[in-house]
Amino acid sequence: MRARTAQDRQLLDLIDPIAESLGLEVVRVRLMTGSKRQRLQIMAERPSDHDISVEQCAKLSRAVSEVFDAADPIAGEYMLEVSSPGIDRPLTRPLDFDLFEGEEARLETDRMIEGRKRFKGVLAGYEDGNVLIDLDGEEDTALIPFDWLSDAKLVLTDALMKRGAAIRAARGEPEDDGLPEGEAAENTTDTTTPSEDNA
């Protein structure tokens, strides 16, 4: 789920070693096509605390731009956007479901499971290739194969906001860093860097 399409996977193969050289991990890569210009979105974080600084975003953006200028993997102009995963982050790796156990999440599968594809509940971890989730209104913990997921992300709740605030406070960062989009910037680690394919 870190990469959705075949092209996303090819780009991820190029980006992963760049991020690793900077001490970062790629959470997700998406090449999105719009009416005017394509947008390459890279979400990354430090493995140590699952966050990233503005400076690290900028370094990763510059490093990716250098490699992509030489490799030319994207046809036409595109905007490169490097950011943190945010508070209501996407869940793209097995470790994410253990890391955020106890938090509320929405999952979507690429096939029907007992008549539906969308699920909402509290994460109960990851085990033997399955995501464990306590679904709203159901007693038993559901097991959803990780490989069947097409999308998964945390739900922005008061508890999740408090968790983010506590982490920021421990690092001495402002308490209002991380308000929901629309109230303020999602977090202060987002940076957008324009890049163009000169081919």
pLDDT tens profile 51-91 = 899 999 999 999 999 999 999 999 988 999 999 998 899 99
Is the pLDDT at 16 greater than 60? The verdict is: yes
Is residue 2 within 8 Å of 28, Cβ to Cβ? yes
Query: Which H or E run contains 162?
Result: helix 158-170
Place 6 in a pLDDT band, splitting at 50, 70 and 90: very high
Q: Which residues are bridge partners to 83 per DSSP?
A: 43
Q: Which residues are bridge partners to 130 per DSSP?
A: 127, 145
Q: How far, in Å, CA of 42 to CA of 193, rounded?
A: 11
pLDDT digits (tens, 9 = 90+) for 116-160: 999 999 999 999 999 999 998 899 999 999 999 999 999 998 888
Place 173 in a pLDDT band, splitting at 50, 70 and 90: low
Query: Which H or E run contains 28?
Result: strand 25-32
Q: How far, in Å, CA of 136 to CA of 53, rounded?
A: 35
Q: How far, in Å, CA of 126 to CA of 53, rounded?
A: 28
Is residue 120 within 8 Å of 106, Cβ to Cβ? yes
